[in-house]
Structure 1
């Protein structure tokens, strides 16, 4: 399908912009029009035409709809419609006005941060784990556990809104009891650098698999690099052997207690990990209260404004960056805070206010290795 310019009608949705194309599906920013002219921004995910006749892929897509439509949690992007338009299956989901975590980490590098500030990385991880804990404990209509496992927890599938909300997306390869039997092909789906050892070996998976992947994502946020790098075979070997540098080797400022929590989540044996995403989240919450008692969820929104201020300013959306927040970013990251910005008498003392609006992105690009530079003003 060509890139829509003024908008291409697709059932009750108007496709405004293609924002990502994967191997078998494409994602559009779209607008839904309801009665009385009421509109709502949405995301449409639909099968590429070349795969519409692939029964196996269509079955997987329907499985995603079956799982995702039953999930309703503040840390999971809501799927609210599933259907077919002229032979094309689609999902309609919540539009998250922000960026994937992969893009956030790349922009942090461009702003001079070697990694995300530890308290903010922990905040992201806690919300991500809350969404996973909810999915892991869902029941069917008869009260039986669904045993949902995401299996593709990665920075590309964690979205951060400009307000600081954290949303999990893409349960496309998730498994649940209602989804049927797993095939050998299923075992290699997902991004292998975030695989758990049992996933790398093609063994049975459970919620602890997502705990390991969440730990890998937190490692990357804290260290500015992935724990496992190399070719497919090399990475899978390292994962199975637990062969990776300890977090404090890359980032000595990480609190020892936080490193212990992370290493527990990334234990090679599932029995030695946190047994639930909730337990992992609670350990991180306790540690955060000890080492950064002044941090609050609003800091994530400030951080997104700090990282993406140029786009926001250019498009007319208000951005307020408190001076106290900029000072904390420097302290958390171990680099000097920027010099004070002169404030005219008629301006608020918390900083300069800009106006801008940015449409955000639903998917992002892989990031490279991060480097340490002075924090710019």
Structure 2
């Protein structure tokens, strides 16, 4: 079985190696993990990791660190122990806690009801009594210097009561607990916890003390014995109404085999007046055990463990199978290690040689299956010549594009005028008559221009006709001219080009040449660093020759 820490993209957690994921929520996810040490030391633990996207939220980070510091000060056999607080390689915080191989009380009750059974009364009383013991130890917790923490869990529910396969009950999840040493405090109007297990003072947003947790635990006891929900409703306002005002039926009215003394203890724990309840969870535990002994419903030794194994369901069987598989993998690694050496811990990403896929590469998660593919040969980096050619092409394209962009943005750039503009005349130009060429026109004979003569100014006199032999050449007849079109207005003369655009083009050319040389230099010196392959002679290795 390949550890989860070896999967691509998984962060490392120091000396802790994640094996598989147990559960996930909106704030964190929990993994089964293994702590490694010298001389083959290892211990199974639970690793609770804050989700990476919450690492930038200062409020969630403070709450997570408060949970670790607070739970570390609680010492009880019926509270999940907190062993370490650290930060993963991706920056996310994680808590290392005791691993409970078992199920939640919610899962146990649900599996029993699906099998057509209810939790036996003696087993139910033992479960609630152990939970009350752990809750009392949390209420009595102090700092290492003896200062009381005044812890109030505020989220006592079946989901936060774990029952191990060894028959021991543990309270978990102090993430929303209130204590005097917390750096974060609940703001006015903020609700924390599950509404169906609120106390009346929680619904009224009143100051809380340990008696609020006693009411929540009594609600859990009522539901565990009856197999029914007490304050459940479709919307939060209806739940608040039920917690505050609904008459609470006696547990024996729904399950007649519940002894009256045990039902009376639970009813006292459900008193809406906090002064009428038990003063502490320890008093609640003692009252339950005394009533169980009086009614002779004490669970025999090992009965809780047998019931958990019988109704733990697939989740318990899968967890135990995964733990056995991880242990077998660890033993195989230790056996293959050289004598006197400890197999390395795979708490982070490690380099592995090429191998074929094996069934151990399949890691079953809670909701899906992740298959770790065997490593493949990575393509070799391109040659130096190819990179240089591409760099030159890119640089040339960038330079041309920059020059064109500068030239197009300059409104002063114009085509130089090669011919002088026509001189303006006092008279409007005569309309020109366009001519249409024949399909096969003959070359026209150019006539010399006529010079002005003094005879033009004299009175007209009849000229003698020239003989027929001296007649001018006869031109082909022309088609009648079309109607003359008015000529367009003359355009103003174009302004001569100034020397400024030429200077800008020169500067652009210099800038392009500099950028090309910079890009080529970068391509030769920097690109090889992305392909650290010692077999390629063109890769520069620091400290090498």
Aligned to 1:306: 310
Matched, 1:226 2:226: no
- Superposed counterparts of 1:193-232, under 5 Å: 193-230=196-233, 231-232=235-236
- Superposed counterparts of 1:88-237, under 5 Å: 88-113=92-117, 115-180=118-183, 182-184=185-187, 187-230=190-233, 231-237=235-241
Q: Which moved more, 1:307-316 or 1:269-278?
A: 307-316
User: Any conservation in 1 of the 2:107–2:312 contact (CA below 8 Å)?
Assistant: no
Matched, 1:4 2:8: no
SS of structure 2 residue aligned to 1:184: coil
Q: Per-residue deviation at 1:220?
A: 1.0
CA distance in structure 2 between the partners assigned to 1:263 and 1:57 by the alignment? 37
User: Any conservation in 1 of the 2:78–2:134 contact (CA below 8 Å)?
Assistant: yes
CA distance in structure 1 between the partners assigned to 2:84 and 2:197 by the alignment? 29
SS of structure 1 residue aligned to 2:4: coil
Q: Per-residue deviation at 1:275?
A: 0.7
CA distance in structure 2 between the partners assigned to 1:195 and 1:247 by the alignment? 19
- Superposed counterparts of 1:340-355, under 5 Å: none
CA distance in structure 1 between the partners assigned to 2:6 and 2:92 by the alignment? 21
CA distance in structure 2 between the partners assigned to 1:293 and 1:116 by the alignment? 13
Pair 1:85–1:116, CA change in 2 (3 A): same
Larger relative contact order (C-alpha < 8 A, sep ≥ 6)? 1
CA distance in structure 1 between the partners assigned to 2:177 and 2:243 by the alignment? 21
Aligned to 1:295: 299
Q: Per-residue deviation at 1:316?
A: 12
User: Any conservation in 2 of the 1:42–1:94 contact (CA below 8 Å)?
Assistant: yes
Q: Per-residue deviation at 1:140?
A: 2.7
Q: Per-residue deviation at 1:296?
A: 2.5
Contiguous gaps of at least 5 residues in structure 2: 324-364, 367-545
Pair 1:13–1:186, CA change in 2 (3 A): farther
- Superposed counterparts of 1:269-348, under 5 Å: 269-292=273-296, 295-308=299-312
Give the greater-gyration-radius structure (CA).
Answer: 2
SS of structure 2 residue aligned to 1:188: coil
Q: Per-residue deviation at 1:13?
A: 1.4
User: Any conservation in 2 of the 1:17–1:29 contact (CA below 8 Å)?
Assistant: yes
Q: Per-residue deviation at 1:258?
A: 1.1
SS of structure 2 residue aligned to 1:179: coil
CA distance in structure 2 between the partners assigned to 1:261 and 1:294 by the alignment? 15
TM-score normalised per structure 2: 0.55
Aligned to 1:267: 271
Pair 1:162–1:174, CA change in 2 (3 A): same
Which residue, 65, 74, 88 being the options, matches 1:71? 74
User: Any conservation in 2 of the 1:159–1:168 contact (CA below 8 Å)?
Assistant: yes
CA distance in structure 1 between the partners assigned to 2:67 and 2:224 by the alignment? 28
Pair 1:193–1:42, CA change in 2 (3 A): same
TM-score normalised per structure 1: 0.78
CA distance in structure 2 between the partners assigned to 1:309 and 1:196 by the alignment? 31
User: Any conservation in 1 of the 2:109–2:119 contact (CA below 8 Å)?
Assistant: yes
CA distance in structure 2 between the partners assigned to 1:21 and 1:309 by the alignment? 19
User: Any conservation in 2 of the 1:28–1:44 contact (CA below 8 Å)?
Assistant: yes
CA distance in structure 1 between the partners assigned to 2:88 and 2:322 by the alignment? 36
Aligned to 2:44: 41
CA distance in structure 1 between the partners assigned to 2:188 and 2:248 by the alignment? 27
Which residue, 251, 256, 269 being the options, matches 2:255? 251
Q: Per-residue deviation at 1:293?
A: 5.1
Q: Which moved more, 1:273-282 or 1:179-188?
A: 179-188
Pair 1:241–1:181, CA change in 2 (3 A): farther
CA distance in structure 1 between the partners assigned to 2:5 and 2:35 by the alignment? 17
CA distance in structure 2 between the partners assigned to 1:117 and 1:36 by the alignment? 46
Q: CA RMSD in A?
A: 2.5
SS of structure 1 residue aligned to 2:19: strand
Q: Per-residue deviation at 1:242?
A: 4.4
Q: Per-residue deviation at 1:53?
A: 0.7
User: Any conservation in 1 of the 2:111–2:313 contact (CA below 8 Å)?
Assistant: no
Pair 1:5–1:55, CA change in 2 (3 A): closer
Higher strand share: 1
